[in-house]
Amino acid sequence: MYGKLAPLVRTLIAVGVTVFVAEILIMLVMVQLGYVARTSSVVLWDALVLAMVTAPPVYFLIRYSLRREHEMRLRAEKKAEEAGHLAITDSLTQVLNRRGIKIALLQAIAQSERYHHALSVALVDIDRFKDVNDTYGHQTGDLVLKRVARLLTETLRAPDSMGRYGGEEFLLVLPETDLEATNVIAERIRRRVRETDFEAGGAHINVTVSIGATQFQNGEALTGLFGRVDRALYEAKQSGRNLVVAR
C-alpha cells in the first residue's frame, strides 16, 4: 500500500512546494512594490493555504495529461506492430507470407554464416491442388491450405520457420539442421499429411504433398539455394508425387 502511495505523496509534495515558493516570491515582490501591505507571517500562511488548495487539482491534471499521452503512445505502437505483422502474414493461413518467410530465411542465413552452423530449407507442394479446387470448389481448397499450414506448424520445431511461398507451396527454414536431419523432418511431414483425413462438406479428400529439400552452402546466393530446392521439388513431382527428395 505504501509503495503505491509513495509516488503520489512525493508528487503532491513537489507540486505543493512549487506553488508555495512561487506564491511567496510573488507576494514578496508585490509587497516590495507597494501593491499589498502584509507581514511575513501573513505571506507565509497565504502561500501555504494556496499550495494546499491548488496542489491536488494541479497534480491530477498533470497526471491525467501524462496518462492520456501514454495511452495514445501505446495505441500508436500497437497499431504499428499490427500493421507490421499484417505485412508479413498470409491472410488465409495466418502463417508468414512470401515476404515474411524470406525475411526469416535471410536472418537464418546470417546466423548460419556467422556461427558456421548447418541450415536447410524445404519446399512443400500440395499434390494436384488444382484438382481439389476444380472438384470441390475454392472454399474447400482454402480449407485444405489452412489445414496443411496447421499440420506443418504443429510438426516443426520451435526454432524453425514456415511460410506460404506460393499458391499451394510452403517454404520451411530449418536452422541447426543438416540435410540428413531435414530429410527425416520432411518424411515426417509427408506421412502426417498423407495420414490426415481432410473432410469438407461431407467429402473425404486424400491430400498428399511432395517435398524438395536442400542444405544451404556457406556464401551462396539466394538464387542458387532456391534453384536447388526447386529442382529437388521438381524431381519429387516427376517421380510420382507424395515423395521427399533431399539433395
What's the domain count of the chain? 2
Query: Which residues form the domain of 186?
Result: 98-246
- Whether residue 125 is found in the same domain as residue 83: no
Render each residue's pLDDT in the chain as its tens digit; 247 residues.
444 446 666 666 666 667 666 666 666 666 666 655 555 565 555 656 555 656 666 666 666 666 776 677 777 666 655 555 558 899 999 999 999 999 999 999 999 999 999 999 999 999 999 999 999 999 999 999 999 999 999 999 989 999 999 999 999 999 999 999 999 999 999 999 999 999 876 778 999 999 999 999 998 999 999 999 999 999 999 999 999 999 9
- Whether residue 107 is found in the same domain as residue 171: yes
Q: Is 92 part of any domain?
A: no
Grid coordinates of 184: 527425416
- Whether residue 48 is found in the same domain as residue 134: no
- Whether residue 82 is found in the same domain as residue 109: no
- Catalytic annotation present for 220: no
Q: Find the angle CA(35)-CA(36)-CA(41) to the nearest 5 degrees.
A: 150
Given the residues 77, 113, 168, 220, the one annotated as active site: 168
- Whether residue 51 is found in the same domain as residue 117: no
Nearest to 191 by CA among 227, 238, 146, 243: 243
Q: Is 93 part of any domain?
A: no
Count of alpha carbons within 13 angstroms of residue 92, beta-carbon side: 20
How would DSSP label each residue in 80-111? HHHHHHHHTB-TTT-SB-HHHHHHHHHHHHHH
- Whether residue 114 is found in the same domain as residue 190: yes
Q: What are residue 164's DSSP bridge partners? A: 170
